[in-house]
Structures are given as C-alpha cells and as structure tokens.
Amino acid sequence: MFVLLDLKEGQSANLKCDPERAIELRERYEGVHPGYHMSKKHWNTVTVNSDVHDDLLCELIDHSYDLVVASLPKKTREDLLATNKKSL
C-alpha cells in the first residue's frame, strides 16, 4: 500500500515517505502533516489544494510508490517491472 485517499471528500492523501524527508516536508509546507492514523515516522497526510503544488504532490506519490516497491521481495519486484513494461 503506497497511498490512502479520502474518496468522499477528496481533500487529502496519506503517502509513505522517507522519515527524514517527511520531517522536512512537514516543516516546509502547511499542507503536510504526520500521517493520520498511520505511522507518523513513515507516513504524511498531504492536503490537496494547499500550499503543496500539484507537481510536488505527483512527486510525493511517485516517491511513496518507489519506497513500497523497493521493500518488496526481489521476485515480486521483477514480476511487477515485467508487467509494467508489457503495459507500455
């Protein structure tokens, strides 16, 4: 799991994040907070339509995905990469 979305309101997303970067983002942006109902060390809640611009939000989504993929077993990562190449 790399993202949790608020589907009813659509106002926030919980995203996995490198712990050091998570702290930096929280200090820099008002729209970034410790992960709501998540591990505060590894997750941030990012408020949409805040001071977090869309490009950064997309970058944070990619970062979250990359962290999760990197933690998968090697065989699972290889299968995932092979599936992604086929879909391109």
Reference 63, options 32, 30, 86, 27; nearest CA is 32
What's residue 27's pLDDT?
97
Cα atoms in the 13 Å half-sphere on the side-chain side of 81 = 10
CA 85 to chain centroid? 22
pLDDT of residue 88: 65
Q: Hey, is 14 helix, strand or coil?
A: strand
Q: Domains (ranges, CATH) in the chain?
A: 3-87 (3.90.1150.30)
Across the chain, which has 88 residues, the per-10-residue mean pLDDT values are 88 96 97 93 95 96 95 91 77
Task: Answer whether 0.85 is exceeded by the pTM.
Answer: yes
**pLDDT confidence of residue 81:** 84
For the residues of 34-78, what is the DSSP string, one character each? EPTTS-TTTEEEEETTSSS-HHHHHHHHHHHHHHHHHTS-HHHHH
Q: Which amino acid is at 68?
A: V
